[in-house]
Structures are given as structure tokens and as C-alpha cells.
């Protein structure tokens, strides 16, 4: 007796779940892409809500990203100033130090 190449359980799964038509595949792809774009849009909206100065601004992705980068750099620079002040007061801040490459990048103008 020759062994069958497919098991009974795989035949049952195939019978229960028919292959999608090309139109169904296309519709699924479109729905997935719309969901992905909506998630990105929601993320940019959240960033625009968090970053100061974005109220009343255009919500283009480039504008939101530029403002977010600048805000992050400002926060890093402010943190460095606070850590430097604490050091001058004799406080051990070693556990709060940022990587020097991050500090240098935040200090850059671009």
C-alpha cells in the first residue's frame, strides 16, 4: 500500500477553508493597506497632540516629524542642563546620563 502524500486532517482543512478568489485577495489587500495607513495617520495625530506648537499647524507628516525631532532635541538639551546643574551641586547623576552621541546629535542644528 502506498502512503498518501496528504493526510486526512489536511484534506479537512482544505475543504473547510476554500481558496480566496483574486478579487477577495485584492479586497483583503486594500483593507489591510487602509488599516495600515489609518494606524500611521493616528500615530501622527498623537504626535501632533503631544508636541508643543503643533496646535493650528498643518498636519503634514513632514511637519509633524520635523517638529517632533526639534522637540526631542530640546528635551535632551534641557535634560543635559539639569544634569549639569545637579553635578555642580554634588549630586551623582551617573545613572541618568545619556549616550554622548545622542547629546551631540541633539546639540546639532540640523
Q: Is 64 exposed, middle or buried (0-12, 13-18, 19+ CB in 10 A)?
A: buried
pLDDT tens per residue across span 35-71: 999 999 999 999 999 999 888 777 788 999 999 999 9
Q: Is residue 14 part of a domain?
A: no
Any idea how long the chain is?
Answer: 110
Q: Is residue 70 part of a domain?
A: yes
Q: Is residue 13 part of a domain?
A: no
- Residue of 78, 73, 83 whose CA lies nearest to 51: 73
Contact residues for 106 (Cβ-Cβ < 8 A; gap 6+): 72, 73, 76, 77, 80
Q: Is residue 4 part of a domain?
A: no
Q: Is residue 31 part of a domain?
A: yes
pLDDT of residue 22: 92
Residue ranges of alpha helices (H) inside the chain are: 8-16, 22-50, 61-88, 100-107
Cβ atoms of 68 and 51 within 8 Å: the answer is yes
Q: Is residue 90 part of a domain?
A: yes
Question: What would the mean pLDDT of 88-98 be, rounded to a whole number?
Answer: 93
Q: How many domains does the chain have?
A: 1
Question: At residue 13, does pLDDT exceed 70?
Answer: no
Whole-prediction pTM: 0.68
Q: Which residues of 71-107 are buried (b: 16+ CB within 10 A; e: fewer)?
A: bebeebeebbeebeeeeeeeeeeeeeeeeeeebeebe
Amino acid at each position: 500500500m502506498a502512503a498518501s502524500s496528504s493526510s486526512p486532517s489536511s484534506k479537512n482543512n482544505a475543504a473547510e477553508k476554500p481558496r480566496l478568489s483574486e478579487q477577495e485577495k485584492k479586497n483583503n489587500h486594500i483593507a489591510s493597506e487602509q488599516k495600515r495607513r489609518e494606524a500611521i495617520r493616528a500615530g501622527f495625530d498623537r504626535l501632533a497632540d503631544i508636541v508643543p506648537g503643533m496646535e493650528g499647524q498643518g498636519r503634514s507628516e513632514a511637519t509633524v516629524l520635523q517638529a517632533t525631532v526639534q522637540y526631542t532635541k530640546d528635551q535632551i538639551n534641557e535634560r543635559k542642563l539639569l544634569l549639569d546643574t545637579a553635578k555642580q551641586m554634588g549630586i551623582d547623576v551617573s545613572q541618568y546620563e545619556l549616550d554622548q552621541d545622542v547629546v551631540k546629535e541633539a546639540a546639532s542644528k540640523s
